[in-house]
Every structure is written in structure tokens, then in C-alpha cells.
Amino acid sequence: MYSSKIIGLGHHVPETVITNQYLSNLMDTNNEWIVERTGINERRWIDPKVDTVANMAAKATRMALKNAKLTEQDIDFIVFATITPDYFFPGSGVLLQRELGLDGRIGAIDIRNACSGFIYALSVADQFIKTGMYKNVLVVGAEIQSTALDITTRGRNTAVIFGDGAGAAILQRSDKPGVLSTHLHSDGHFAEELYVKDPGSSRPHAERQPEQILDTTSFKVVMNGSQVFKHAVVRFNEVINEALEKNNLKKEDINLLIPHQANLRISQFIQQKLALRDDQVFNNIMRYGNTTAASIPIAMSEAWAEGRIKENDLLCLAAFGSGFTWASALIRW
Ligand code: COA
């Protein structure tokens, strides 16, 4: 059987830097609160005249292709993780395909698993490669959360956390070990603890197509922060151990853990629980906030560019988010 290797990584974030100070002009919050509770100093927000989910993904993809020494024409399939597509439908996978000029030749699917989306997408791509169906699969995570945030004091526990961005990985068929295993979980009992309700298809006409939406929170991100935190720390730990056990490996074998950048306190909790050294964990949430499905590929791309991932290293990815969903992947680089 084939295995799949990541042979190129890339990322793109919007130009506009949103500092904690800037947010404190919009809502009742302050730099100290945000840094202490989340570890975030700044995040990027899109300029709607410039950025879309698909064009940010295209920029990340071009960087990944360059690093992989491939061209657009080499891509056999697109797996696009986003919960913030440019349109309600179709998904942003086909828009990326259009941006890349690959009209009609290849397929594209969207994965809607929030912060776990990139690992789910990686897993889907890995299966396509292992069965021999495709050779080069583009796996992308890209999100625009900023325009769905409630940027008033009412939404402050959520608005300070999220940011926009895109990351991409090129997965290629190989006869050497690469993605060792992926572990996917979900529990829909908690769907409403972190969600955007509208425009939900099961809603009556007037609610799905309101005359004006200014007074309703149902189009904005709603999060029960303490529930999310409580479950995240348990599931992250479980799903990392599940991956290690499956491959008969120990936590000491991990060269680099790249956790989904949910919140620095969550990453630090996991690091402590697994007794990992600082050099075994990569965090960049300080600069970008939580970019949902884009956070792992952006972090991977930066870690790789900084020389933190070397050949034969054991890389562990882990995520938790809306759904709830959680997932992990072990990769031999
Ligand atoms: N600025 C200042 N004060 C804020 C605030 C903000 N941005 N957001 C909330 N507060 C206030 C609350 O109103 C509350 O005030 P009160 O005690 O007077 O009612 C107080 O701070 C504590 O609120 P609480 O929600 O209990 O804080 P917390 O310690 O749970 O921290 C989160 C909130 C969101 C930072 C925390 O729950 C968290 O990190 N959860 C996980 C979120 C996450 O990772 N999401 C992504 C999942 S992929």
C-alpha cells in the first residue's frame, strides 16, 4: 500500500493587523484580559475589497506548490477545509479550483469540521492517496471569521479569539512512511456550544431570509467559552494518546506537537499534561488568534520555514472545535 507525504507547505494571512488595543476601542475589553486568558496579542482581519476565502487559499497554495517544486497542473484533487465559505453554496473548493485555473479537470470537496477541519481534510486526502486513486492532493484550511464576529461588548468573549487566514499542504504518494495514522471524533450533543445558527436551512422563510439582521445574534458566532475549554483539554489529551498508542509510540518520541491554535492556555495545559518541553510544541496564536481550520496548516508552514521540522521527525497534529469534533494525526516527516 502507498503512503502519503507532505512535500510542500504554504500560508497567507490578510494585511490588516488587529491589536488588542484596537478591540478595546470597539468593546469593553483590554489587552491584559485578552493576553492573560488567551495568549493572543494580535490577529489579522480581511479587507472585504481584497480578500476572499478562496483567494487567500490560492495564495497559500501557490507558496506550497513552489516549496514542493510542483505547478497547479500537478494537482489531482482539492480537499478544502472551511466553515466560512465565500458562499452558502457552492463550497470554496470549487472557487479555489477556479482561482488556480484548473477548470473541469479535477474534483474539489469541502470539509466543514471547524477547528478540526484540517486534520479531517488531511485524513480524506490520505485515504485517496493510499488507495492509489490520486498522486498529488492539495489540502487547504482557510477561514474568514472576522465578518461573523459580534464586535460589541455582548460578543467580547468570542470576538477577541478568532482571526482570518489560510494554510495549504501538498500531499504526495510515497513508498516511504508519511502520514502514519489519523484519528477522527465527533459529539453532536455539543453542537450549539460553538456555532453560527443562520442562515440555517431548517428555519422558517422569514428567519432564513430576514429583511434586516442587525438586531439578531443568530448570524454571529456564539460560543460557550467555559464548556469549550473544559472539553478541549480532555479531548486533546485523549486523541494525542490514541494516535501514539495506535503506532506503538511514546510522547517522548514526538519531535513537534502542532496543536490547533484555540487558545494559548489550552496548548500550555496539553504541553504540561504530556510533559513536553517548550521545543516540542509550536504556537503562533500570539500573532494570528484562532484561525479555525487554517490554524494548523499556517502553524505547520511557519514551523517548517523556521527549520523546526526536520526529515524523519515525528510530527503530531491535534485539534478540537465546534461540533464538538476532535482529531489527531501522526506524521513521519
Ligand atoms: N474582555 C474583558 N472581560 C471579558 C471578556 C473580554 N474580552 N470576555 C469575557 N469577559 C468577562 C466576562 O463577562 C466575565 O465577567 P463577570 O465575571 O463579570 O461575568 C469574566 O470576564 C469571566 O468570563 P468567563 O467567560 O467566565 O471567562 P473565562 O475565564 O472562561 O475565559 C474564554 C473566557 C473564552 C477566554 C475561555 O472560556 C476560553 O478560552 N474558552 C475556550 C475558547 C476556545 O478555545 N475556543 C475555540 C475553540 S476551537
Residues 6+ away with beta carbon under 8 Å from 139: 79, 81, 118, 121, 122, 125, 168, 169, 170, 171, 297
**pLDDT for residue 300:** 98
**pLDDT for residue 208:** 83
Nearest CA to ligand 1 atom 11: 157
Closest CA to 156 of 324, 26, 247, 15: 26
Closest CA to 295 of 54, 119, 160, 155: 119
**pLDDT for residue 219:** 86
Any residues with Cβ below 6 Å from ligand 1, and which? 29, 33-34, 37-38, 115, 156-157, 160-161, 225-226, 228-229, 232, 262-263, 266, 290, 321
Set of cell numbers at residue 110: 469541502
**pLDDT for residue 204:** 86
Set of cell numbers at residue 36: 492573560
Q: Which atom belonging to ligand 1 lies closest to the Cα atom of 263?
A: 44
| 260 a catalytic residue | yes
Q: Which residues of the chain have pLDDT under 70?
A: 213-215
**pLDDT for residue 213:** 67
Question: Which of the residues 11, 115, 263, 284 is marked catalytic?
Answer: 115
Question: Which of the residues 55, 260, 263, 316 is marked catalytic?
Answer: 260
| 316 a catalytic residue | no
Q: Which atom belonging to ligand 1 lies closest to the Cα atom of 160?
A: 7
pLDDT digits 0-9 by tens, 247-304 = 999 999 999 999 999 999 999 999 999 999 999 999 999 999 999 999 999 999 999 9
**pLDDT for residue 211:** 78
Nearest CA to ligand 1 atom 48: 321
Ligand 1 geometric centre to CA of 265 (Å): 12
Where do the domains of the chain lie, and which CATH numbers do they carry? 3-176 (3.40.47.10), 181-332 (3.40.47.10)
pLDDT digits 0-9 by tens, 117-152 = 999 999 999 999 999 999 999 999 999 999 999 999
**pLDDT for residue 215:** 65
